[in-house]
Amino acid sequence: MWPASLLILFLAFQGNFYELGIKALDDKRYDAAVENFTKAIAADPKDFTAFFNLALAYSLQGKDTEAIPAYKKALELKPDLYHANLNLAISLLRLKQNAEAVPYLTSAVAEKPKEFRPNYYLGAALLGSADFEKAQQSYIAALQIDPKSPDAELGLAHALEKLNRLSEAAPYFEKAAELNPAYRNDLLDLASLYEQHNQVQDAMAIYQQFPDNPGAQEHLGLLLIAAGRVADAIPHLEIAVARSPTTANRAALATSYFNTNHADKALPLAEQLLAAEPNNFDILMLHGRIVRDQRKYPEAAHDFRLAVTLKPNESEGWSELATSLIMADDYQGTLDALDKVAALHAEKPGHVFFRALALDNMHDKRGALAAYQRFLAMSNGQSPNEEFKARQRAKLLERELK
């Protein structure tokens, strides 16, 4: 048996746990707060305020997993506790449990419809649970309460873009960035969406606002290439490569140099890429084309031969190989490559003309004549210079064969 005086003292101290917990919260001694509120709950398991403050102490430590059951117990004891609904939902949102947060935030909004936070967080929960229409409505309500909230502007922007209403979303992305410069990069999300929806001019307009962002400059360069503005793309790709070199942007820059007759700039980039990735089909093709145009035909043929071993069903590789081989006077190799092009059902008039030249140089007069005639039938005015040569050579071969 406890002596009566000691029992009274113990009960008084036990009743003081709540006050000690509150003081610890005020002093930001959250571990002590958890300890005291836990003891207060043991003394009175129906004290909803002790459960709420225990949950709050956990929340302030970032321990949302521990906070959630305490908030739920507080709400079980007092269902209309506004801050418990709000704080519980925020903990759930932090743990990405968006759908579970919705009913608690709905209750919080019903209790205080003119408060910004429950409306804003309800929008976030609905957005996270893919209910975009309702998310839009909640963000609009939040902005009516606080028109200068960059978070609500951004949330509404994302809700609208998820609904594929990009033109409506754009001003909210821009306003969010205006109110909080940290949200400027979200404009890049909008630019990416414009790309996906083939709104190229809108995408480029945004990328142009980020001259120091290598990713934005790379995208802008690629869009300009796709629009046929290769020369305009080069400065943007140069920025991307200088600040964040990747295989993709260096290859794009090298290709742009090559396509604008700057092989002297393209070749060093292509060589670097090829050294790093000797089995990359696209890089082999690029390097091969550059050295081919520099009349280094055996070197080009070497690249294209490696390329076709990597992708034997790509007719483009066989076609380039045939072109390089005929320029290197390897006529049998040319015919072998052209046979592959034909087998892949990719033969064009130019291929047949090369076949005729190869056969002619191998002194196969009948084969050459047949190929020249087939070329003339296929070309039909598309390549007047080659057609003139083919006609003249065909006439001579016919006379020789007679």
DSSP string, 148-164: T-HHHHHHHHHHHHHTT
For 343-366, the pLDDT digits (tens) are 999 999 999 999 999 999 999 999
Q: Which of 3-17, 174-188, 343-357, 377-391 has the lowest mean pLDDT?
A: 3-17
Nearest C-alpha neighbor of 283 from the set 296, 298, 266: 266
Domain boundaries, the chain: 278-347, 361-402
> And the tokens for 157?
């922007």
Q: What angle do CA 323, 329, 330 make, to 5 degrees?
A: 80
Counting residues of the chain whose pLDDT is more than 90, the rounded percentage is 90
pTM for this predicted structure: 0.70
The predicted model gives 108-131 an average pLDDT of 97
Predicted pLDDT of residue 21: 87
Query: 110: which residues sit within 8 A by CB, 6+ positions away?
Result: none
The predicted model gives 16-20 an average pLDDT of 90
Counting residues of the chain whose pLDDT is more than 70, the rounded percentage is 96
pLDDT confidence of 16, banded at 50, 70, 90?
Answer: confident
**Residues 253, 270: Cα–Cα separation, whole Å:** 10
Predicted pLDDT of residue 5: 34
**Residues 156, 159: Cα–Cα separation, whole Å:** 5
In order of 333, 342, 377, 379, the CA distances from 338 in angstroms are 9, 6, 18, 17
Q: Which fold has domain 278-347?
A: 1.25.40
Predicted pLDDT of residue 402: 82
DSSP string, 166-207: HHHHHHHHHHHHHH-GGGTTHHHHHHHHHHHTT-HHHHHHHH
Per-residue DSSP letter, 117: H
Residue pair 277/251 in contact by the 8 Å Cβ criterion? no
Residue pair 176/154 in contact by the 8 Å Cβ criterion? yes
Tell me what the pLDDT averaged over the chain comes to. Answer: 92
Q: pLDDT at residue 3 above 70?
A: no
Predicted pLDDT of residue 12: 46
**Cβ atoms within 10 A of the Cβ of 197, count?**
12
pLDDT confidence of 15, banded at 50, 70, 90?
Answer: low
Nearest C-alpha neighbor of 335 from the set 351, 313, 312, 348: 351
For 365-376, the pLDDT digits (tens) are 999 999 999 999
Q: pLDDT at residue 292 above 70?
A: yes
Per-residue DSSP letter, 382: S
> And the tokens for 166?
């990009």
SS3 62: coil
Q: pLDDT at residue 287 above 80?
A: yes
Please report, as a single letter, which amino acid is at residue 24. Answer: A
Helical pair 331-343 and 315-327, crossing angle rounded to 10 deg: 160
Phi, psi of 223 (to 5 degrees): -65, -40
Residues in the chain: 402
Region of residue 373 (left: phi > 0; alpha: psi -120 to 50; beta: else): alpha
For 57-74, the pLDDT digits (tens) are 999 999 999 999 999 999
